[in-house]
């Protein structure tokens, strides 16, 4: 699979490096409005081609294909046949760039969340349901310990699932907001810690519940980063269509930063996940069998990228296509609305 990285921030850098390490993937271009940042990531990921926009990348692709069909030499900036793009861009750009990429016939691996609003999220899911391959990088689905947890739930080892507790006690500094960048704007990001960090655990909790969100209660706070209009602390409760209740607390202001946890309470026992660093799952009143995710690669993010590659190359399904990610986005939207918008 030939892929281009669009958005060379922190996560884009890690995606580029892991793509470079995967012998089944060729990184053909790095794209970022900051030319120096694109060049730095490209250099560290063994890539020579950079662009400053998706428009430039797609124009070069057309130029190369035209040159190939007319037996003329391709442009020196043209990319080899492109199969997919990874989008690590501000949340409000997800829908327009997904539309642009899928309109050009490309598969898309988009960073979570699905979008900054529920309307945009539904529009992306509709594109996926019409045939476009759009995966959303909820990489916890490729974590070995999460895989063990999900399989234990599916096999009935915990019995009937009754309720789930999620906690994200993470820490961010003012550098995270980049002097008032898009992370600090509810209009652009869609929210703060709940949508950006907490949605990882909501995604897994909903998967374990076997249902979708039907109602929610929520309280949002801006405790520390008062120069922003996003939540740095959020508490919520979600009720699901299967009757499972999900409690979530998500924070950017915990100190020191601690492991995220998911506690799944069933009629036969409880499973407790802790991660993502040195992730593990333990049982209380029940033994949880340790398993490895069937997609093999370094780190959950690397396995997510490899899972996407297999999907694009017709070798299997991706764990979180856009319609699946819509479930977490719907729950996030309900929680924010319950907290006053």
d(CA 172, CA 190): 18
Phi, psi of 74, rounded to the nearest 5 degrees = -75, 160
Burial class (CB in 10 A: 0-12, 13-18, 19+), 5: buried
Integer angstrom CA distances of residue 104 from 17, 55, 57, 130, 255: 25, 11, 11, 15, 45
pLDDT at 70: 45
pLDDT at 219: 98
| Residue 230, SS3 per DSSP | coil
Q: Spell out the per-residue pLDDT of the chain, length 341, in tens.
A: 999 999 999 999 999 999 999 999 999 999 999 999 999 999 999 999 999 999 999 999 866 655 554 443 333 344 568 999 999 999 999 999 999 999 999 999 999 999 999 999 999 999 999 999 999 999 999 999 999 999 999 999 999 999 999 999 999 999 999 766 899 999 999 999 999 999 999 999 999 999 999 999 999 999 999 999 999 999 999 999 999 999 999 999 999 999 999 999 999 999 999 999 999 999 999 999 999 999 999 999 999 999 999 999 999 999 999 999 999 999 999 999 999 98
Query: Taking a C-beta distance cutoff of 8 angstroms, is the pair 83, 132 a contact?
Result: no
pLDDT at 74: 33
pLDDT at 61: 81
Q: List every span in the chain annotated with CATH 3.30.360.10.
A: 140-295+322-338
pLDDT at 26: 97
d(CA 94, CA 286): 42
- Nearest CA among 37, 2, 32 for reference residue 20: 2
pLDDT at 67: 53
What lies within 8 Å, CB to CB, of 322 at 6+ separation is: 110, 114, 124, 125, 127, 128, 134, 135, 136
pLDDT at 230: 97
Q: Classify domain 2-139 at the CATH superfamily level.
A: NAD(P)-binding Rossmann-like Domain (3.40.50.720)
Q: List every span in the chain annotated with CATH 3.40.50.720.
A: 2-139
Percentages of the chain per state (helix, strand, coil), in multiples of 5: 40, 25, 35
**Which tens digit of pLDDT belongs to each residue from 97-143?**
999 999 999 999 999 999 999 999 999 999 999 999 999 999 999 99
pLDDT at 202: 98
CA angle (65 as vertex; 60, 67 as ends), nearest 5: 90
**Which tens digit of pLDDT belongs to each residue from 240-264?**
999 999 999 999 999 999 999 999 9
Q: Classify domain 140-295+322-338 at the CATH superfamily level.
A: Dihydrodipicolinate Reductase; domain 2 (3.30.360.10)
């Amino acid at each position: 699979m030939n892929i281009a990285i669009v958005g060379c921030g922190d996560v884009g850098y890690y995606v580029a490096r892991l793509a470079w390490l995967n012998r089944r993937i060729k990184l053909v271009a790095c794209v970022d409005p900051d030319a120096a940042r694109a060049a730095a990531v490209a250099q560290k990921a063994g890539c020579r081609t950079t662009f400053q926009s998706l428009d430039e990348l797609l124009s070069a692709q057309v130029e190369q294909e035209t040159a190939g069909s007319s037996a003329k030499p391709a442009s020196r900036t043209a990319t080899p046949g492109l199969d997919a793009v990874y989008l690590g861009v501000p949340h409000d750009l997800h829908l327009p760039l997904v539309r642009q990429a899928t309109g050009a016939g490309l598969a898309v691996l988009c960073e979570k969340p699905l979008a900054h609003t529920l309307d945009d999220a539904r529009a992306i899911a509709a594109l996926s349901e019409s045939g476009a391959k759009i995966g959303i990088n909820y990489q916890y689905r490729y974590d070995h310990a999460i895989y063990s947890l999900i399989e234990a739930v599916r096999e009935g080892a915990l019995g009937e699932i009754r309720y789930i507790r999620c906690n994200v006690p993470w820490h961010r500094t003012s550098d995270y907001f980049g002097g008032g960048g898009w992370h600090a704007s509810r209009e652009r990001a869609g929210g703060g810690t709940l949508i950006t960090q907490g949605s990882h655990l909501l995604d897994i909790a909903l998967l374990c519940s076997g249902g979708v969100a039907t109602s929610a209660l929520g309280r949002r706070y801006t405790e520390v980063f008062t120069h922003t209009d996003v939540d740095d602390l959020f508490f919520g409760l979600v009720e699901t269509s299967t009757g499972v209740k999900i409690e979530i607390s998500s924070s950017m202001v915990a100190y020191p930063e601690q492991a995220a946890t998911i506690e799944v309470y069933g009629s036969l026992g409880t499973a407790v996940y802790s991660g993502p660093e040195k992730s593990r799952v333990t049982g209380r009143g029940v033994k949880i069998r340790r398993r490895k995710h069937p997609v093999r690669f370094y780190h959950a993010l690397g396995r997510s990228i490899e899972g996407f590659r297999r999907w694009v190359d017709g070798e299997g399904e991706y764990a979180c296509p856009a319609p699946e990610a819509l479930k977490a986005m719907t729950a996030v939207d309900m929680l924010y609305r319950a907290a006053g918008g």
